[in-house]
């Protein structure tokens, strides 16, 4: 790569072409164009604070970022990038410098290295000889057509729309890739031009009164004598019954039917005399026994203090909760743009790609461009996201369903499946076991704990928090709820 382009042999050009497949913006070009570029690109490396492109100056080169990060700024020396908490950053695989090469040939912005950065440089003559200008015109036309279809800009002239087109580029994100850590704080808005994205909220479950109550309700099933102090509610047995019946979305009414029949028989003077125990402190018999805790004694584990009382330290976990999906043609970050700052919901929200192409535009640039008609339409975009407490309740409800579904799948399908092939991998230090993403309330007081991954969120949002995807609690064996499946996989 560091060899002068004119010295490269054919096999070296092919090797460079292969090497550059990791760069998104390069890979997007046709294969012949990629090969042509591999012949002419120069390799360059610069240190932090080096200004690559200066706003207002004439441009001579176009750049692919091979490694490192640069910032795009409005000032001439790029110093604002080091003061701005949210600079516009370009990373490995991105490219820049095309606008200054095309008319009106001056640089529209300054680009400065944020760290030591490696570039592949295409000079002006090669840029035009390889018709890269036409590629960028095609991209711009694509953005123009996307905005033209949007109801939001229906009243705009083509000329005005082109101004918007020049404010951002299309960025591609693969499935599951993080688009923005927090789009509430982001200085940009986004237009999803292809695919979709998910809005997630990271919730510290330990701050929710509902979660606190839920945890203790379940822990009482492990030992219902030691926890009476935690809730001033009906007896634990009562709660146990209520919970166990509710915790599976299946209810067994057979005992009620029997009771009804028994009454009918008594009225008919039948000699039937068996009594079915349905009331009192026991569960309906047909529901069977719960899975017994292996620790019938009081729960001994480290506790932490929360607003509502003590919570086992292990149960102080967080979860990412999906609150919205942004579809193709929709926007991100405009949902409260018209609200006064003191009325805005400032809770951090994460944006994750489900396979998406987005156009990112700085808020202030967008604001300068929009007129009263667009502002009026923006009122329609206002979305109120649910409260953390509501999200927590939803998470726990879905959790019960998910655990139930897994139990059911295990019961109905597992014995029929062939054992899956699990390659033996050498154990690596520091790579967490994905199973640890499930908090198991039955093993809270076990000596050996699974090593949970730690969420390294900036302290201003949350303390380091173990993230879970699900919580398993003491529960009935599903066979007891579905007696026709006495043995897993076999319907009797
Ligand atoms: N908002 C933006 N987002 C990403 N890249 C940009 C943005 N504005 C300008 N650029 C790039 O920064 C470059 C500065 O030099 P050019 O004007 O030649 O080309 C410009 C674009 O490639």
Nearest CA to ligand 1 atom 9: 109
- Residue to substitute in 109, 135, 143, 360 for testing ligand 1 pocket (most ligand atoms within 8 angstroms of CB): 109
Task: Establish whether residue 107 lines the binding site of ligand 1, counting it when its CB lies within 6 angstroms of any ligand atom.
Answer: yes
Nearest CA to ligand 1 atom 3: 168
Does residue 232 carry a pLDDT above 70?
no
pLDDT (average), residues 407-429: 65
Q: How large a percentage of the chain has pLDDT more than 70?
A: 72
Does residue 316 carry a pLDDT above 70?
yes
Q: Where are the beta strands (DSSP E) in 79-142?
A: 88-90, 95-96, 110-113, 117-123
pLDDT tens-place string over residues 65-92: 999 999 999 999 999 999 998 899 999 9
Split at pLDDT 50, 70, 90, the class of 385 is: very high
Does residue 101 carry a pLDDT above 70?
yes
* Ligand 1 atom with least separation from CA of 100: 18
Q: In what order do the strands lie in the sheet with 117-123?
A: 42-46, 117-123, 61-67, 95-96
**For helices 132-149 and 158-165, angle between their N-to-C axes, nearest 10 degrees:** 120
Task: Establish whether residue 91 lines the binding site of ligand 1, counting it when its CB lies within 6 angstroms of any ligand atom.
Answer: no
Asked if residues 104 and 57 have their Cβ atoms less than 8 Å apart, the reply is no
Q: Which pLDDT does position 228 carry in this prediction?
A: 43
How far, in Å, from the CA of 402 to the mean position of ligand 1? 46
Task: Establish whether residue 53 lines the binding site of ligand 1, counting it when its CB lies within 6 angstroms of any ligand atom.
Answer: yes
Asked if residues 458 and 381 have their Cβ atoms less than 8 Å apart, the reply is no
Tell me the HSE value of 280 on the side-chain side, using a 13 A CA sphere. Answer: 5
Does residue 62 carry a pLDDT above 80?
yes
How far, in Å, from the CA of 416 to the mean position of ligand 1? 57
3-class secondary structure, 487: strand
Q: Which pLDDT does position 114 carry in this prediction?
A: 97
Tell me the pTM: 0.75
Nearest CA to ligand 1 atom 20: 97
- Residue to substitute in 63, 72, 191, 368 for testing ligand 1 pocket (most ligand atoms within 8 angstroms of CB): 72
Does residue 136 carry a pLDDT above 80?
yes
* Ligand 1 atom with least separation from CA of 109: 14
3-class secondary structure, 177: strand
Task: Establish whether residue 403 lines the binding site of ligand 1, counting it when its CB lies within 6 angstroms of any ligand atom.
Answer: no
Nearest CA to ligand 1 atom 19: 97
pLDDT (average), residues 344-364: 94
- Residue to substitute in 111, 124, 191 for testing ligand 1 pocket (most ligand atoms within 8 angstroms of CB): 111
Mean pLDDT score of the chain: 80
How far, in Å, from the CA of 312 to the mean position of ligand 1? 51
How far, in Å, from the CA of 108 to the mean position of ligand 1? 6
How far, in Å, from the CA of 362 to the mean position of ligand 1? 12
* Ligand 1 atom with least separation from CA of 107: 17
Split at pLDDT 50, 70, 90, the class of 295 is: very low
**For helices 209-219 and 388-412, angle between their N-to-C axes, nearest 10 degrees:** 40
Q: Which pLDDT does position 109 carry in this prediction?
A: 94
Does residue 106 carry a pLDDT above 50?
yes
Task: Establish whether residue 318 lines the binding site of ligand 1, counting it when its CB lies within 6 angstroms of any ligand atom.
Answer: no
Q: Which pLDDT does position 240 carry in this prediction?
A: 60
Asked if residues 403 and 396 have their Cβ atoms less than 8 Å apart, the reply is no
Positive or negative torsion for Cα 13, 17, 19, 25: positive
- Residue to substitute in 99, 121, 132, 368 for testing ligand 1 pocket (most ligand atoms within 8 angstroms of CB): 99
How far, in Å, from the CA of 117 to the mean position of ligand 1? 17
C-alpha pair distances (Å), 409 with each of 401, 421, 475: 12, 19, 16
Q: Which pLDDT does position 260 carry in this prediction?
A: 59
Report the candidate in 62, 78, 71, 74 with the shortest Cα–Cα distance to residue 25. 62
Q: Which pLDDT does position 68 carry in this prediction?
A: 96
Question: How many angstroms separate the first and last alpha carbons of the chain?
Answer: 68
C-alpha pair distances (Å), 120 with each of 25, 40, 63, 134: 12, 10, 6, 20
Nearest CA to ligand 1 atom 13: 97
Does residue 60 carry a pLDDT above 50?
yes
Split at pLDDT 50, 70, 90, the class of 380 is: confident
Report the candidate in 478, 475, 373 with the shortest Cα–Cα distance to residue 155. 373
Task: Establish whether residue 88 lines the binding site of ligand 1, counting it when its CB lies within 6 angstroms of any ligand atom.
Answer: yes
Split at pLDDT 50, 70, 90, the class of 275 is: very low
pLDDT (average), residues 33-54: 94
Q: Which pLDDT does position 284 carry in this prediction?
A: 35
Q: Which pLDDT does position 97 carry in this prediction?
A: 94
pLDDT tens-place string over residues 253-267: 455 555 655 666 666
Task: Establish whether residue 168 lines the binding site of ligand 1, counting it when its CB lies within 6 angstroms of any ligand atom.
Answer: yes
Among 66-80, 102-116, 224-238, 453-467, the least confident range: 224-238
- Residue to substitute in 96, 107, 110, 172 for testing ligand 1 pocket (most ligand atoms within 8 angstroms of CB): 96
Does residue 59 carry a pLDDT above 70?
yes
Split at pLDDT 50, 70, 90, the class of 450 is: low
Q: Which pLDDT does position 230 carry in this prediction?
A: 44
């Amino acid at each position: 790569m560091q060899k002068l382009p004119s010295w490269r042999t054919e096999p070296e050009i092919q090797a460079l072409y292969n090497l550059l497949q990791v760069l998104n913006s390069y890979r997007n070009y046709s294969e012949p164009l990629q090969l042509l570029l591999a012949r002419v690109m120069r390799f360059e490396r610069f240190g932090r604070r080096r200004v690559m492109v200066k706003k207002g100056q004439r441009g001579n080169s176009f750049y692919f970022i091979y490694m490192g990060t640069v910032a795009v700024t409005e000032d001439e020396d790029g110093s604002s990038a080091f003061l701005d908490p949210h600079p516009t950053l370009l990373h490995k695989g991105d490219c820049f410098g095309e606008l200054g090469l095309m008319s009106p040939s001056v640089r529209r912005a300054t680009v400065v290295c944020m760290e030591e950065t490696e570039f592949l440089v295409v000079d002006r003559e090669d840029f035009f000889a390889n018709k890269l200008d036409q590629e960028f015109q095609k991209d711009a036309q694509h953005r123009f057509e996307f905005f033209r279809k949007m109801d939001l800009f229906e009243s705009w002239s083509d000329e005005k729309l082109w101004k918007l087109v020049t404010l951002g580029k299309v960025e591609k994100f693969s499935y599951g890739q993080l688009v923005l850590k927090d789009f509430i704080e982001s200085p940009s808005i986004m237009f999803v031009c292809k695919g979709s994205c998910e809005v997630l909220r990271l919730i510290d479950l330990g701050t929710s009164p509902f979660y606190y109550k839920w945890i203790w309700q379940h822990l009482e099933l492990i030992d219902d004598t030691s926890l009476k102090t935690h809730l001033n509610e009906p007896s634990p047995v009562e709660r146990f019954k209520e919970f166990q019946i509710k915790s599976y979305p299946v209810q067994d009414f057979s005992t009620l039917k029997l009771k009804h029949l028994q009454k009918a028989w008594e009225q008919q003077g039948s000699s039937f005399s068996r009594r079915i125990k349905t009331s009192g402190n026991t569960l309906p018999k047909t529901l069977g026994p719960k899975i017994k805790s292996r620790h019938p004694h009081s729960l001994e584990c480290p506790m932490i203090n929360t607003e509502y009382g003590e919570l086992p330290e292990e149960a102080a976990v967080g979860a990412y909760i999906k609150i919205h999906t942004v579809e193709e043609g929709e926007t991100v970050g405009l949902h409260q743009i018209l609200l006064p700052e003191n009325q805005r919901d400032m809770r951090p929200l994460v944006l994750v790609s489900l396979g998406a192409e987005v156009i990112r535009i700085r808020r202030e640039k967008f604001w300068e461009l929009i007129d009263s008609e667009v502002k009026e339409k923006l009122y329609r975009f206002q979305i109120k996201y649910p409260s953390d407490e509501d999200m927590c309740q939803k998470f726990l409800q879905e959790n019960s369903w998910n655990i139930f579904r897994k139990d059911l799948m295990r019961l109905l399908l597992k014995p029929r499946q062939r054992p899956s092939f699990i390659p033996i991998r050498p154990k690596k230090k520091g790579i967490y076991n994905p199973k640890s993403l499930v908090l198991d309330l039955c093993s809270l007081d076990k000596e050996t704990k699974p090593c949970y991954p730690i969420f390294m969120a900036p302290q201003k949002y949350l303390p380091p928090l173990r993230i879970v995807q699900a919580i398993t609690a003491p529960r009935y064996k599903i066979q007891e709820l579905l007696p026709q499946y006495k043995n897993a996989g076999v319907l009797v």
